[in-house]
Chain A
Amino acid sequence: GENVEQHPSTLSVQEGDSAVIKCTYSDSASNYFPWYKQELGKGPQLIIDIRSNVGEKKDQRIAVTLNKTAKHFSLHITETQPEDSAVYFCAAGDQTGANNLFFGTGTRLTVIP
């Protein structure tokens, strides 16, 4: 099955700096890569996703890049704010099959005011 690795496990940045979280996956059939944000005491919430037909997607301060050859994808948050502090999960899945989503182990991001 799919194996998704996520790094780093914790990340601290100063407010206004950028944060980058990286994930690798093992199954070349995976073609859907979402990122979820989990705030304390809540369930994960989708913040952005990318499908394999594009290499980059941006939504305001958040962007995701995908390198299918190297089997890795990254989340970039620019101009970080204290409310960005949360745990972020990457995931990988195959749209064409019945496969489910496989999640990374999470990154705890702390934005220091």
Chain B
Amino acid sequence: NAGVTQTPKFQVLKTGQSMTLQCAQDMNHNSMYWYRQDPGMGLRLIYYSASEGTTDKGEVPNGYNVSRLNKREFSLRLESAAPSQTSVYFCASTTGGPVETQYFGPGTRLLVL
């Protein structure tokens, strides 16, 4: 039981490049989330998926897209990376809604030059 896994662990991009961050969970959770973590700003929700086939915007969705590929996988895509998207990205999952224990992955550190 690996919990929540994320790939890659670290990535460097040039401005304008695109990439997809991958997230998978093996806990049979219904809901999945993408957060970004910036110094002094805590965790901010980018997008979430309450169930397979649904996605919704969070607090800071601009510049991102998501896909809930199946119950296990939730990917985050940057179509045209900007330096402001330099951050650490965390994926999380819960059995039901957001106001219960969230299980986080180890994070992806992204640097956009």
Contacts and interface: CB of A to CB of B under 8 A. Distances in A.
- B partners with A: yes
Interface in A92-108: 93-95, 98-106
Contact of A43 (B4, B41, B50, B98): B4
Interface residues of A, number: 27
Interface residues on B, range: 20 to 34
Main secondary structure of the interface of B (DSSP, over half): loop
A28 to B, nearest CB: 15
Interface stretch (B12-20, B66-74, B77-85, B100-108): B100-108
A93 B90 contact: no
A103 B43 CA distance: 6
Interface in B53-89: 58-59
Interface of A: 1, 4, 6, 9, 32, 34, 36, 41-46, 49, 89, 93-95, 98-106
Interface of B: 4, 33, 40-45, 48, 50, 58-59, 90, 92, 97-102, 104-107
